Amino acid sequence: MSVWHYLHRPTNLAFHDLTTKKKPPANLRSLLGLSLKFIPNPSTNVPWRNYAAETLPRFQRDFEVKAFMAKPPVNANDDPPEDSQYNPRLYVRTNWKPPSIFPFPKEATRRINYFNANLRRLVRRRKCRSNLLPHQRQALRYLRNQKDFLVIQCDKNLGPAIIETDEYIKMAFRDHLSDATTYQRLSPAEAKVHELRIRNFLGIWLKTWAKVITKNEKRFITHHIAENKFPFATFYLTAKVHKTPLVSRPIVSCSGSLLAALGTWVDDKLQHAVKIQPSYFKSSFDLRKEIDTLELPPNATLFTADAVSMYTNIPTDRALLFIGKYLRSKVFPGIPTEALMEALRCVMKNNIFTFGDTIWKQKTGTAMGTPPAPPWATLYYALCENKFLKDFALSLLLYRRFIDDILGIWIPSANADDDTVAWTEFQAAVNDPSFGLEWIVQPRSQSVDFMDLTISIRGNRLHTTLYEKPSNLHLYIPPHSCHPPGLLPGMVHGMVHRFFSLCTDDSDIRQRIQDLYQALLRRGYQPTVLKPLLQKAISHTKETLNRLGPATTSSSKDLRHAMLLHLRYHPLNPSSKELQHLWRTHICEPPYGRPLAELRNYNRIPLGINRLIIAYSRPPNLGNLLSYRKLKNHGPPVSSYVD
């Protein structure tokens, strides 16, 4: 038996069983309880040919580009220089190399050769023992080969679930696709016509607006159109196990689809308008920072509201009219309004997706899954609520909304009857029929659950703590998963920072940290590893928050002086420590020469490079291996349920 089975074996293995007719094998709990993020060890480590063909050529090319682009030294406190056209969201990696007339420093070339040669000595092709037990490997083979069950994800990150394939397909039709007012099934011929029409639109749009979009934006959209293989998005479900009876959330994955790149461009532009709306906030951290400053009157109450199926109920034509009128009425630097509105109309009216062997078109509402869907929905209702919020300015001490979730602080009138009337009028204004949306406004109270927070009134202040669904299985990634060793420190530091940033009471923070410690113990981590790591995370978080303020994250170090080495992680590959040693010894600070940062490029400018960052990619995890999104070879074809 493997050592990890005794030292790192999780004890809280669990998943959600949603089956109703057929029962899955009993040994699935030991596999699915590892979580869908668990990575089985590949049978062998990464061979040298992969380094020689991919890793090192990319490293060499990136090195040459960084040396060519080296800038004169700047003050350490200065911000990194900015490229006015550079946008990381709209970036396409190229194979461009500096012209040969601008030579790469010969000394740097020698150092890279030494680095490569010594790395070659460390890489040996070796077989790797599995980090799954025999019965877990058997369960994995069974799930990958059978057709009766699907392993699906639960909504709100509540863990994996298993359901019969036919019940999953029936649930998709029962909850969503059978609604003929929202979805229309397309024949293959009709789908082909839509594809050609979309391609034609993209060509005309790029030509028409070539002078108002940047070269980088045009290159990004053009590249993704040329590389497109599957024109349409993919429809799948997640299970809302926290609700009774069981319902599903529709997800449309537009990644890689024909309109994905244009949608990303639209999203990037719409964000400028969304972020200036009065009700907008970015995250729970920003919300906590804001409400910490509030001083409440004695009679203040809290309320929340949730929209009913917001995305599919937003009236598309009305939203396009509202948003277009708003964008044209203001000046937004960097937003070509007419180009944006044309692109937005195309994205919102051409949401076509596959479900198994069937093809569907969303007829109304927000184009689910498209990149601009969240800012579109946020901006549309912001323009609606801006019409009535001023009428309740005296009653609303705070009004904030995150897409389809509203949080408010209501100040009641001195007269109870007047207050009842005002509250009724406010609910009616939120649910104005002309907006096309229905909101369920919860009764006013002293404590509410909003997003991942429980917010309560204590005296004249608001107190916050974390809110978690009772059905959360807390399936943290076990220590024997094939993840880089930095997983645990990153996870612990992130969670501890979240506790300190979102919880008001020190006693609550201590209890959360204790609960995290116990949860990680149940996932197989050892006390001797966890205790010093938690102490370090607590100390670092206190120092960071004292320096930067509550609910604030420190800015990440810029990459002006760093090189990235892109590697596929495997436990039998050279470790990060060994790679950093090779970097320092042969490239950065060799004993036989000047530091790398002092070497100069063709223009006599110091390279300034003094760091190496190991950028790991991961092997497939259980979620990838058991993916159900395309329903390939899973039971009867979807078309048999509608034909």
Q: Could you tell me if residue 432 is inside a domain? A: no
- Do 259 and 179 belong together in one domain? yes
CA distance 371 to 245: 30
CA distance 499 to 508: 9
CA distance 638 to 643: 9
Helix axes 316-329, 337-349, angle to 10 degrees: 170
Overall pTM > 0.75: yes
Q: Could you tell me if residue 563 is inside a domain? A: no
- Do 96 and 221 belong together in one domain? no
Q: Could you tell me if residue 299 is inside a domain? A: no
Position 50 scores a pLDDT of 93
User: How sure is the predictor about 556, in pLDDT bands with cuts at 50, 70 and 90?
Assistant: very low
CA distance 540 to 46: 35
**Residue 604: which domain range?**
48-76+84-125+570-617
β 160-164/16-17 pair status: parallel
Of the chain, the percentage scoring pLDDT greater than 90 comes to: 81
- Do 208 and 337 belong together in one domain? yes
- Do 214 and 72 belong together in one domain? no
- Do 212 and 106 belong together in one domain? no
User: How sure is the predictor about 349, in pLDDT bands with cuts at 50, 70 and 90?
Assistant: very high
Dihedral sign computed on CA atoms, order 240, 246, 250, 251 = positive
- Do 356 and 495 belong together in one domain? no
- Do 190 and 110 belong together in one domain? no
User: How sure is the predictor about 557, in pLDDT bands with cuts at 50, 70 and 90?
Assistant: low
pLDDT over 90 (residue 621) = yes
CA distance 339 to 209: 6
Q: Could you tell me if residue 390 is inside a domain? A: no
- Do 212 and 335 belong together in one domain? yes
Q: Could you tell me if residue 272 is inside a domain? A: yes
Q: List alpha helices for 277-415, DSSP H.
A: 284-291, 310-313, 316-329, 337-349, 373-385
Position 628 scores a pLDDT of 87
Q: What does the CA dihedral 98, 99, 103, 109 come to, rounded to 10 degrees? A: 50
Q: Give backbone dihedrals phi and psi of 373, rounded to 5 degrees, phi first.
A: -60, -50
User: How sure is the predictor about 643, in pLDDT bands with cuts at 50, 70 and 90?
Assistant: low
Q: Could you tell me if residue 642 is inside a domain? A: no
User: How sure is the predictor about 244, in pLDDT bands with cuts at 50, 70 and 90?
Assistant: confident
Q: 426-435 long-range contacts, Cβ below 8 Å, gap at least 24?
A: 426/388, 426/392, 426/395, 429/388, 429/391, 429/392, 430/305, 430/385, 430/388, 430/406, 432/384, 432/388, 435/381, 435/384
3-state SS, 28-83, equals HHHHHCCCCCCCCCCCECCCHHHHHHHHHHHHHHHHHHHHHCCCCCCCCCCCCCCC
CA distance 300 to 322: 34
Both tokens of 491, joined, read 């996870």
Of the chain, the percentage scoring pLDDT greater than 70 comes to: 95
Q: Could you tell me if residue 634 is inside a domain? A: no
User: For residues 201 and 11, which has the higher predicted lDDT (pLDDT)?
Assistant: 201
The count of other CB atoms within 10 Å of the CB of residue 224 is: 19
**Least confident segment among 63-77, 231-245, 466-480:** 63-77
What is the DSSP code string of 557-569? PPSTTEEEEEEE-
Q: List alpha helices for 389-486, DSSP H.
A: 416-430
- Do 341 and 272 belong together in one domain? yes
Q: What is the pLDDT of residues 406-445, one digit of tens each?
A: 999 999 999 999 999 999 999 999 999 999 999 999 999 9
| H/E stretch holding 521 | helix 506-522
- Do 59 and 192 belong together in one domain? no
Question: Structurally, how many domains does the chain consist of?
Answer: 3
β 611-617/562-568 pair status: parallel
Q: Could you tell me if residue 466 is inside a domain? A: no
Q: Give CA angle at 215 (206, 205), nearest 5°.
A: 10
CA distance 553 to 556: 9
Q: How far is CA 493 from CA 148, 464, 520, 529, 537, in A?
A: 41, 20, 13, 14, 5
- Do 187 and 232 belong together in one domain? yes
Q: What is the pLDDT of residues 66-103, one digit of tens each?
A: 999 888 765 545 554 555 567 888 988 888 899 888 88
322, 294, 506: which is closest to 407 by C-alpha?
A: 294
- Do 358 and 507 belong together in one domain? no
